Chain A
Amino acid sequence: MRLTQLTSLIAALLVAVGCRMEAPERADAAAREANTGLRGMVLSEAPPRPDFVLTDARGDEFDFRAETDGYLTLLFFGYTYCPDVCPIHMSSIAEVKRDLGAKFARRVRVVFVTVDPARDTPERLRDWLGAFDPEFVGLFGPTDAVDAIQLGLGLPPAVVPDTAAADYMVGHGSPVIAFSADDRLVVRYPFGTRQEDWLHDLPILAGE
């Protein structure tokens, strides 16, 4: 085979492979969009918006159902020392919220419930969330109560290691749960959700 033919063949193969290449989670998101119009996983048996009261980072009681009623609500369970999933989710949501503007921001609530209250002090939680978006709400509560909320949403309770070390990791569920503003849809967003997916879905869930 001549060099030019070989070069052409390699180039054609590279182009073909390059055009086809798509990470598996992108293909999943595309399939979900084709089925439901949303890139997140729409829960067919949607749990109702949970009814619980926890404490926010200012020390005030936060009645989740009452405070978020009528808003598109994104609920996430994580911890501020989390090296990957938590900051990536929060950063992505904050970026997209800014993209969608003030009108959208008035229609959304982002609630972060810590699963590591031993280290996530109110000040730390407020500062950490504030670095993403000052409007994000951080909540604390007894471990039993937080576990029960997660179980009610089909999420595994967090696993905090029994250790004296200060730099332990907490095992916790990675999805963000979205409740549409009209409560008709509950959607799970796994880790791997891209900003373009949030940008696509959030206006729909907010009813815009």
Chain B
Amino acid sequence: MNKFSKSASKIDWLLVLLYLLIMGLGFMNLYSSDFKPETANIGFFEHTYGKQLIWLAICLLIAFFIMQIDAVAFSMFSYILYIVVIGLLFLVLIIGAATHGAKSWFLIGSYKFQPVEFAKFATSLALAKFVSVNGFKFVFRNFVNIIVTFAIVFIPVILILLQPDVGSALVYFAFIFVLYREGFPGIFLFLILVLAIVFVSALLINQVLLLLIIIGLSSIFLYFALDQKNRIFTIIISFVSFFSVLYFLNVLFKLEYTLLKMLFVSSVVWTVFLFIYFIRKKNAQILIVTSFMLVSIIMQSVTDLAFNKILKPHQRNRIDVLFDNSIDPKGIGYNITQSKIAIGSGGFWGKGYLNGTQTKLNFVPEHNTDFIFCTIAEEWGFIGGFVLFLLFALLIIRIVMRAERQISVFSRIYGYSVASIFFIHFFVNVGMTLGLLPVIGIPLPFFSYGGSSMLGFTILLFIFIKLDTEKDLKL
């Protein structure tokens, strides 16, 4: 066997196939999304799909080029790449071009270049390098290493937030999965998840209900965390007594506290009491749970207060619009309504290729970038949408499985990063389009229009495919 066929036999052709399939479908879909019969006779390359086709060719070239690089090089140059990208992120804040109020582009000739898309694989490489060398033991004496690890992730996040590009910054949440895999305690993963849920619920659910849910869930956690005999008494009776005292005070002195206020005050007192009570017992788990309880109770009231009381309605709307990169011609909620209409009109089989009306006629804003999923769902119906879900799930799971098989820690961490980044993109983008998540501008890999994004994802994936061909890589 010659060298090429030897390495070719090691390539995970399933991943490459998935990549080509997703990319091909992405192009077809973009073509449909922007195709209009009356402008068809204008030069092909004047259209978004024409430009995207050029990018597609460039991506394939780059992918082929990556496969020719020695895998060791990625490890060797990871820090340098990272520093270069950080530099670019700095530079874009100074000389970048602004669209929708965010300075995120370098304008080179008529081409736009978005450094954010390249920061993802650079960060992944640097993180993989650092963690593979230093390990990620979540213990006190490893303090400096932990700090550095977080710094590697947060420096680009801060720079991206300065643009500001909330969506792209959000992608870095992906690294939590990576760190979790490498030893970051699960409780933090859980904590972050719960806080996010509390934050979103505070905007959606009745506050009294939410507070009761928090108190109830906390009690259940406490119940399982404690092992003393009278734990039910300690947990429930203490809360009930605090609440009743407050209730009687309220009635007696006619304080006219609302139920919400009373619940809030008594639960804060309750958690503080539990915290002090268990600090003597030196039960670390309980301390974590109680402090977390306190945080979420305060968080829910603050979220609501901040959102509804301090901010005036128009400011609230502005925040909504800020989070949303698209123009908003018919008021808040227009995008998401139009997106749902487009998706809903697809039905089971869809309207057929090139037959979508909602996306083509610009009812869905950003229909070829952030809301590209609408075109798929409108033209290919439920079947098309479901197949797309499966393709992405397959891609991500395949990467995770291949990553697990790596002997090299560097390759494994990098693989995990790739899978997590794809997942966050898929999760946020489709979730937003379906109206399950707030509107946050973030592309759907290989589907959304944009050269930088496509190129970034190609590099991200192919570095892993390359690393995967040399499983016994010693780094």
Partners in one complex: no
Chain B residues packing against A (C-beta within 8 Å): none
Chain A residues packing against B (C-beta within 8 Å): none
